[in-house]
Each structure stands twice: as structure tokens, then as C-alpha cells.
Structure 1
Amino acid sequence: MKKGTRWTKIKKQVESFICEKLKNRVDFIVAVYRKAHDQTGRIYITVDKKEVFSMCTITAEMEDYKTYRKLRDEFNEYKESRELWELSQKELNKRGIFGEYEFYKSLEVYFNSHVKDCLYATDVLLNIFALLDRRVGKRSLKKFSESIKDKHEIVRYFFDLRCSVEELNFNDNDQ
């Protein structure tokens, strides 16, 4: 993605990858709060016009700060540490807390990666993009079902959604 690329263009590109059965059901919405001092906002994903996942910059930054401070106290580190910030970011990712910037960063990785790499990545957003992707077929979903119990609940939600529209049922007896 080029810097300054408009959201409408990015959205069209994302939507072009969504599988046919979910094309008119899943939507990515960007809300920019122009009157906020820094014009940050949030991005959210809806399914059937119901919000299922939200990425708010302010919430993410507050949680990042709290997590960083907690890690700093645990490690008795009293100066700024890049390693602790990276650990904090990984912790937030595991918890499914993202800001707008992570959404765009993950989209860029998604657009420049093989879809199977995104499906098995540790990044929750990459998992979601891949699960919605038309290039992920039934065999890939079946194989992915073996690792789904270790994934974040929102990834499991999108996995179940995709399996439901594909009329797939992977219960414990099948694995």
C-alpha cells in the first residue's frame, strides 16, 4: 500500500478477496473522528450489519501503556525499552486489542504475503483476512481446524462463520 492511499481504494482491494458467500455480509468500516485533537478513530468489522470486532486507536494506546508499565515493573526496568514495547504489542495482539495503525499494517502484510502464511500467522488480523479469503478452500479450512482451539476467540468466530457458509462441520470426531 502506498502512503496516502485512500480507504475506498484499499476497501475495494480487501473486498475483492472476500469469498463469494460472505461478500455482501462482511464489511470493514473506518470511523475517523475529525473533531478529536488527533483525528484518530476506529475500524470495525461487521457481519450482517452487526459489529463483531472493533479496533480503536485510543483504547489500544491506553492498553499498550498499561501493559508496558506492567511489564516494566515485572522486569524492574526503569528506562524506556524497545524490547518491552514489542512484548507489550505482542501481548495486545494475543488479547485481540488493535488500533487503526495495526489494521493497516496487517493489511499491508496480507496484500504482500501468501494467503496460507496469513492463515497460520500469529497475527489475529492476518488470520481473519485469510479466513475470509476466497483463495482458502475447504481442505485448507479442514487443516486449519486442527489448530483453531489455540486461536483467539474472534479468529474462531470467523472460522465458524466461514465453515457455516461453506456448509462444513469439523467436530472433535473428525480430527
Structure 2
Amino acid sequence: MSWSGMRNKLEKEYLAGALRGHIRYYATSYSKSPDHEGRAAILLDGKEIIAGCYYNNWLKAELFPRDERYERRMKEEMAFIDDTAVQLGIFDQQSFYEAFSIFDNQSIEESLASENMLVRIFAILDRRVGKRRLEKIRREIDGGEKTFREFFAIRAAAEGMAAEAERER
């Protein structure tokens, strides 16, 4: 599937109605780069919330020790993206495409439970996650990964749940 097809599905088919026009997905390949590598980002009202670039990937060798998880990352060509990788931008457009493929080919429940942070981000912004499920996630989210909590807060605010929580206090 082409990037424009992926973006169309993410922004029009999957994205929650309250976020349409606010969330944009971005991925590009640099044609003058030897391997046509590039970057990817998720934007909220034109501001990048997360962004990753292939040229940041040199950090992964220094940040991630050569343990079982590191070997799995290398074997899966960065299909496994965790909170550290997202916060440091140690992912690229290929990781973004892979995460979309995983997300697009499994249930929303599996996506919400995925080890891949990008897949979980796509899922929390998905229209199939309703207010009841968001409430359940809110009760379980304390102490979770920072990036996922940020995207949960964006979704909750868009659904008016932040205001509801304030009224209940």
C-alpha cells in the first residue's frame, strides 16, 4: 500500500471523529539519500507530537544493550518500538509503515495490547475505541509509558473526558 493510502486510512477511516482535522500523520523518504531513508511524525494541530528519523538510529546501538529484546528489535527491523525509541525519535518511516501494517491487520484489542508503541498510539486514536473503553484505560494507565499517556490525554480531551473528570472532583 502506498503512503497516501495508509495516511488516508489512518486519518479518514480509523481516526476518531473528535480528532479529525487535528491529527495528521506524516512520513517521507529522502530521494537523495542513498537508501531513500526518511522520517515519520504524528502532528496535532500542525505541531509534531512525536517524530522519528532514520538518521537517529545510530543511537539505538548505544542505548539498547545487546540482550534478548535488542536482538528481537534487530531481527524485526525495528518493528518493535518502545517508549524510549519514540521519545528519542529512534524510528523511521519504515517502522511507521510496519506499525501501520500490524495495526491494520489485527483487532483493536490486539493493537491496544501491542508491544509496539506506534501500534498502540494508532489504536488509542482509533474511532473503534469508545468512551467506555477510554474510561477503562484511564483507570489502568497510571504509571504507564509517558508517550502513550500523552496520546491518551489528547484523545480524552478531544472526547470531552478531561472536562468530565474535572466536574466529578
Give the structure-1-normalised TM-score: 0.79
Q: What is aligned with 2:8?
A: 12
Measured after TM superposition, the shift of residue 64 of structure 1 is 2.1
Q: What CA deviation, in whole Å up to 9, does each residue of 1:63-105 have, x standing for no partner?
A: 222235xx24xx7xxxxxx764226769962312322222111
**Distance change >3 Å, CA 145–CA 10, structure 1 → 2:** same
Q: What CA deviation, in whole Å up to 9, does each residue of 1:23-79 have, x standing for no partner?
A: 1100011132211222211011100011111021121x21222235xx24xx7xxxx
Read off the aligned partner of 1:8 and give its amino acid letter: S
Q: What is aligned with 1:85?
A: 71
SS of residue in 2 equivalent to 1:159: helix
CA distance in 2, matches of 1:168, 1:83: 36
CA distance in 2, matches of 1:32, 1:91: 20
Q: What is aligned with 2:60?
A: 64
SS of residue in 1 equivalent to 2:50: strand
Does residue 107 in structure 1 map to residue 103 in structure 2?
A: no
Q: Using the aligned pairs only, state the percent identity.
A: 25
- 8 Å Cα contact 2:114/2:120 also seen in 1: yes
Out of 13, 16, 21, the position equivalent to 1:24 is 21
Unpaired runs of 5+ in structure 2?
Answer: none
**Distance change >3 Å, CA 63–CA 129, structure 1 → 2:** same
Runs of 4+ residues over 3 Å off in structure 1: 87-92
Unpaired runs of 5+ in structure 1?
Answer: 76-81
